Structure 1
Amino acid sequence: MKTLITNLNGHCLFDASRKTQTEGIIILHEGKYRKTDLEDFLKGGDIKIETEDPYEACMKIEDIIRGTKKHGKVFVACNGRGLGPFLNFVANKVGVDGVFTCYKNKIVRLPILKLDLSDTRMRILKILYLNDLTAREIGEEVKISRAMVYKHLKSLMDLGLVKKSNSLEKYSITNAGKLSIS
């Protein structure tokens, strides 16, 4: 079964469902949602994401995508409003069969992007999510040399996932880093 997960509505939603030839549709929204005749025509439902925390929103979207993938192919169509950027990010992170956006009332397929983080870098991010740590403390936790810690930290800082904390001795995770481990 092909399923479209989207935050689109109206004509763009109809075009996205035609382009992907989906059998089911899941519409994600944040608040008041006005159902149209089109949504009645398409099989599926709508899910309200109620949270102010972007990390939590990404976790919920990831759960929805992973649950849907068990039933077949998953496509994502989103715009830049509301949950759209998070939906796009999680779709690329988890890996879906296609990502689409609506541009000037036309559906455009976007290339799949991959956030390529090694297991060690993911462990560093997860450790920093819990506490700000020095390079030495990170090395002890992850069980790698301090030189390797600095190499990984530099890479993570270049990606904007880690920053030096206010004390300048410790490293902390950024909001982007928190989203990348969701």
Structure 2
Amino acid sequence: MKTLVTNLRGQCLFNVSMKTQPDGLIVLHYGKHRKTELDSFLKGGEIRIDTEDPQDALNRIMEIIRGAKIHGDVYVAYGSGDIGPLLNFAANKEEVAGIFTCFGEKVVQLPPFELKISKTRLKIMKMLTLNDFTAVEIGKEVGISRAMVYKHLNGLIEAGMVKRSHSMEKYGITDAGVLAMT
């Protein structure tokens, strides 16, 4: 069985459905939703993501994908909107069979991405989920030199996973960092 999990609407949803030929369809939406005529022709379920917390939304989307994977291959098609980027991220984390979006009305299959975080950077990120720490504190806890701490922190800052505190003395994890650890 093939299931398409999507937040798409209209012609783009129709085009992706024609390309993937799913047996089941799960349409995700956030906030108010207005049904279209096309919705009545597509068989499947509708799930409203009703949280204001992006971490909770991501976890819910990943649960939905995992549940669909029990029955066979899962394809994800996402568009813009509140949950589109989270749906794309979840699709990559859950390693679905295919990820699609639309450019105009053309269906585009996207390659999966791989988020590579070294064990040391992961240790730093886990530490920063507990509290903000200085580079010296991070080095002592992780067991690396101050130079290596700064190298890892700069890489994590560049990737948007870690930020400097207002005093510029301590470091903390960003929302993106928390999502990456999900």
> Does the pair score TM above 0.5?
yes
- Give the equivalent residue in structure 2 for 1:121: 121
1:13 equivalent to 2:13? Answer yes
Gaps of 5+ in 2: none
- Give the equivalent residue in structure 2 for 1:32: 32
SS in 2 for 1:85: helix
SS in 2 for 1:99: strand
Aligned-pair Cα RMSD in Å: 2.0
CA distance in 2, matches of 1:99, 1:73: 12
- Give the equivalent residue in structure 2 for 1:54: 54
- Give the equivalent residue in structure 1 for 2:112: 112
- Give the equivalent residue in structure 2 for 1:152: 152
Question: How far off its partner does 1:36 sit?
Answer: 4.2
Question: How far off its partner does 1:79 sit?
Answer: 0.9
CA distance in 1, matches of 2:83, 2:145: 40
SS in 2 for 1:46: strand
Counterpart contact for 1:23–1:42, Cα < 8 Å:
no
Question: How far off its partner does 1:23 sit?
Answer: 0.9
- Give the equivalent residue in structure 2 for 1:142: 142
- Give the equivalent residue in structure 1 for 2:3: 3
TM-score, length basis structure 2: 0.88
- Give the equivalent residue in structure 1 for 2:91: 91
Question: How far off its partner does 1:100 sit?
Answer: 0.9
Question: How far off its partner does 1:40 sit?
Answer: 4.2
User: Bigger shift: 125-134 or 147-156?
Assistant: 147-156
Deviant stretches of 4+, over 4 Å: none
Equivalent pairs: percent with the same residue? Answer: 58
Change (3 A) 1:166 1:63: same
- Partner amino acid for 1:16? V
Question: How far off its partner does 1:120 sit?
Answer: 2.7
CA distance in 2, matches of 1:24, 1:141: 48
- Partner amino acid for 1:112? P
Change (3 A) 1:144 1:109: same
Total equivalences in the alignment: 182
